[in-house]
Chain A
Amino acid sequence: EVQLVESGGGLVQPGRSVKLSCAASGFTFDEYGLHWVRQTPGKGLEWVSGISWNGAHIGYADSVKGRFTISRDNAKNSLSLQMNSLRADDTALYYCAKGLFLDAAAPEFDFWGRGTLVIVSS
């Protein structure tokens, strides 16, 4: 059974940093792209970032480029998102999602975690 479990969310002050993690199990981790997708309560989905199976290709939404860094550790079956210079509009539920294919920009996400909530507020 595929499982994706996010952690690291919480209340953080504007301008500060937080690192999200996603622990994966139930599939061959290094054969798939992985993604972070966020959702503001009551609003739509926003793709944040994606990383290819080997970490060689990475993409970011314009809204987070230069502030967020995605990474993966294939030895530990884990995905991370380092979030710096946080702003109020980064407040959202952050989902980890498994891609159906290898690359960082294939839009098919066949498994999702339950999300971790990040609230940016003073």
Chain B
Amino acid sequence: SSELTQDPAVSVALGQTVSITCQGDNLRRYFAAWYQQKPGQAPVLVIYGQNKRPSGIPDRFSGSSSGHTASLTISGAQAEDEADYYCNSRDSSGSLVVFGGGTTLTVL
């Protein structure tokens, strides 16, 4: 079973702000990374480390962490942001990688 827990589904009105969360005890010690996956496509890294964005990722995507919860925030959600979002991190041993179960984001 996954050591990272995500809500299965979240919705947001077009242009509004939404946060997707990822919970796990290992997040007290390690940063989470966040991925966006659209149907039929490979995942894309959108946030890693302490709120770092890879080249080409819009600045409406941001990350934060508090305690055992990591959050991905989309400020001003666009229709093209509708996708599945996954977090991952090191496991509690620090030697392996674990993924959260994923959150389906619907933009209304």
Contacts and interface: CB of A to CB of B under 8 A. Distances in A.
Contact of B42 (A44, A100, A106, A112): A112
A45 B35 contact: yes
A105 B32 CA distance: 12
Nearest to A109: B45
B48 interface: yes
Contact of B97 (A44, A50, A95): A50
Interface in A55-85: 59-61
B86 interface: yes
Contacts, number: 64
A112 B89 contact: no
Nearest to A43: B102
Contact of B96 (A45, A47, A95): A47
Interface residues on chain B, size class: 20 to 34
A46 interface: yes
B58 interface: no
A113 B44 CA distance: 11
Contact of B99 (A47, A104, A112): A47
B42 A107 contact: no
Interface string A80-122: 0000000000000001000010001111111011110000000
Of A45, A61, A95, chain B has the most CB atoms within 10 Å of the CB of A45
B28 to A, nearest CB: 15
Which 5 A-B pairs give the minimum distances between C-beta atoms? Answer: A112-B42, A47-B97, A108-B48, A44-B102, A107-B88
Interface of A: 35, 37, 44-47, 50, 59-61, 95, 100, 104-110, 112-115
